[in-house]
Amino acid sequence: MSGRYPRRPAPAGHNRDVDDTKPCPCRRGDIFGECCGPLLAGRPAPTAEALMRSRFTAFAVGDTGYLLRTWHAGTRPAELDLDPARRWLFVEILHTAGGGPFDESGTVEFTARYREPEGRGRLHETSRFRRVDGCWQYVDGEVDRW
pLDDT at 141 > cutoff 60: yes
Residues 109-124: tens digit of each pLDDT: 999 999 999 999 999 9
Closest CA to 58 of 107, 122, 13, 28: 13
Mean of all residue pLDDT scores within the chain:
88
Distance CA 133, CA 67 (A): 18
What pLDDT band is residue 146 in, cutting at 50, 70 and 90? low
pTM: 0.86
**Greatest alpha-carbon span in the chain:** 43
Residue-wise DSSP of 103-117: -SEEEEEEEEEEEET
The total number of residues shown for the chain amounts to 146
What pLDDT band is residue 144 in, cutting at 50, 70 and 90? confident
Residue 19, pLDDT score? 82
Residues 30-84: tens digit of each pLDDT: 899 999 999 999 999 999 999 999 999 999 999 999 999 999 999 999 999 999 9
